[in-house]
Amino acid sequence: MQKHSLPKLAYSFDALEPYMDSKTVEIHYGKHHQTYCDKLNLALEKHPSLFDKKVEELLTNLNSVPSDIQTAVRNFGGGFVNHNFFWEIMCPASSSGKCSGDLLKAIARDFGSFEEFKKQFSDKSVALFGSGWVWLVVDSKTKKLEIIPTKDQDSPLSLGKKPILVIDLWEHAYYLKYQNRRVEFIDAFWNLINWNRVEKLFR
């Protein structure tokens, strides 16, 4: 049995400056993300055999998780996996690159153009009420790209969608630097997307 632990960040806390400040990354990763991981481990201790499964697998089949820990897996397992993913699809602005190749073609196919996709993704991020996430996903049936919001720590995996890009819109993701100015945070986020990684996830 192996407890879950946070994956190492591929960059230092200050590497996302000035768009995401060092203190925010440090607390977001070291405190918020760590707490989701700890609480997930605590819940799984009631059913230790589940440690052998990937958390992504548990979230994909939430109904198969024992009912006494289903909510905990949804919230803390979701928080654990969503943040793993969030850190993974970001990088320092200097190596962000550009959306290109097959992904760019699919975006043009499903949204009309990259600019239109960016507008829709940003608009949904501004409009999200309360705490949650906005995702670019591939629907597992239609194979089309979609932009969907999820509440709290809900995962698109539980909806049959494969995530390829995400923005964390909980206030803890931006409040130290941007306070109530969520729009500025969303604008800044576009500088931090690891397009190389996102395109790999798409393929």
Q: Which chain residues interact with Mn ion by CB under 5 A?
A: 168, 170
Q: Choose between 110 and 168: whose C-beta lies nearer to Mn ion.
A: 168
Q: How far is the CB of 82 from Mn ion (least distance, A)?
A: 7
CA atoms within 13 A on the CB side of 178: 22
Task: For 47-58, give the DSSP string.
Answer: SGGGGGS-HHHH
Q: Is 97 helix (H, G, I), strand (E, B) or coil?
A: coil
Q: How far is the CB of 56 from Mn ion (least distance, A)?
A: 18
Q: Choose between 137 and 166: whose C-beta lies nearer to Mn ion.
A: 166
Q: Choose between 81 and 198: whose C-beta lies nearer to Mn ion.
A: 81
Q: How far is the CB of 30 from Mn ion (least distance, A)?
A: 12
Distance CA 115, CA 96 (A): 17
In the numeric block, the tokens 């109904």 are attached to 63
Q: Choose between 104 and 148: whose C-beta lies nearer to Mn ion.
A: 148
- What residue is closest to Mn ion based on CB? 168
Q: How far is the CB of 202 from Mn ion (least distance, A)?
A: 23
94: its two tokens: 């200097």
Q: In the beta sheet, which residues pair with residue 161?
A: 139
Helical packing angle, 114-127 and 101-111, nearest 10°: 70
Question: CB 21: neighbour CB atoms within 10 A?
Answer: 16
Q: How far is the CB of 188 from Mn ion (least distance, A)?
A: 16
Q: How far is the CB of 120 from Mn ion (least distance, A)?
A: 22
Q: Choose between 32 and 124: whose C-beta lies nearer to Mn ion.
A: 32
Distance CA 154, CA 167 (A): 13
Q: Choose between 114 and 170: whose C-beta lies nearer to Mn ion.
A: 170
Contacts of 188 (CB under 8 A, 6+ apart): 19, 20, 178
